[in-house]
Every structure is written in C-alpha cells, then in structure tokens.
Amino acid sequence: MLEVNKTQAAPRSTRIASEAGLSIAEAASRTGVSVHTLRYYERAGLVITPVDRTAAGRRRYQQLDLDWITVCARLRATGMPIKTIRRYAQLVSAGRGNEQERLALLEAHRADVAVKLAETRENLKLIDHKIDVYRGRLAAGDADQLWAPDRQADAR
C-alpha cells in the first residue's frame, strides 16, 4: 500500500499545474472509480494532498494522486467507512510520528474484513450446496420434486 512521507505530501495547493498530469476523466479511467467519486473523495477529505489545477482551474492528477485514490477505493470496497478512510488520510497527511495509530486503524479494519470474509465463505457453502442439489435433481430427472411453497395448502 502507498505510504507517503512528509516531504512527498507537501501541499501543492499554491502550485498551478501545466497540462502535465491526467484529467479527471483519465484519472477515473486509470483508478477504476467514477468522475463523481473522484470529486466526492476530494470534498470528503479523503485525498492526502490538494489535486493540482491548470490555469483554467481543471484538475490534473499526478501519480501520487492515482496511487492514493486506488488505496481509498480498495478500502471502501472492503467496507471501510468514509469516516475511517478520512481519519487514515489525515494521519498519512500529517506525516511521521503516527504510524502506530495508522497500524491500529488498518489492523482493526482487517479484523472486520476477516469476519465478513468468513461469513461470505459460509454463505457460499450454502449456495454451492443448493447448486449441487439442483444439478443432482435435474440429472436424475426429478427436479419437479424440489420443494416449492404451496400457498393454497398454507392458507388452509
């Protein structure tokens, strides 16, 4: 995962980018998130450095931005709340000295993901069982014997 030291994370808000870097559409394509999501990540305080702008005010994303957005997107995809990603971004932006807090945040999230993954594996087992039952019944020619609710019988 991307980590940024304090010298890399120096704010670029006063710098006007040339046409170098990627447009918001190009950045969206490269990171796999929508243009709307990129704008939202900026508004929500998830981006660790201000995104460069052209003289005309258009966003220009650098590799550091793309790498960080990818981290955010993956954390989100694993269910990390925006509030927690924001806190993580704040810690990374602050630079050295808070590595223990970053580690604790990531370890707690990993534990949550591990629980969800175990639940998903259990659910997948049920789905696999149901598939096996249907395949077996279809192969045996008695799929019509599979359980189906009888609403008329239940109404009696």
Over residues 30-62, the pLDDT tens digits come to 999 999 999 999 999 999 999 999 999 999 999
Where along the chain do its domains lie?
1-96, 102-144
Q: What is the predicted pLDDT for the residue at 20?
A: 87
Query: Encoding tokens for residue 92?
Result: 């990374």
Q: Which residues, at least 6 apart from 94, have a Cβ–Cβ distance to it below 8 Å?
A: none
Q: Which helix (H) or strand (E) holds 155?
A: helix 151-155
Query: Mean pLDDT, the chain, as a whole number?
Result: 88
- Encode pLDDT of 105-155 as tens digits: 999 999 999 999 999 999 999 999 999 999 999 999 998 888 888 767 656
Q: What kind of fold does domain 1-96 have according to CATH?
A: Multidrug-efflux Transporter Regulator; Chain: A; Domain 2 (1.10.1660)
Whether residue 65 is predicted with pLDDT greater than 60 in this model: the reply is yes
Query: Encoding tokens for residue 61?
Result: 């994303």
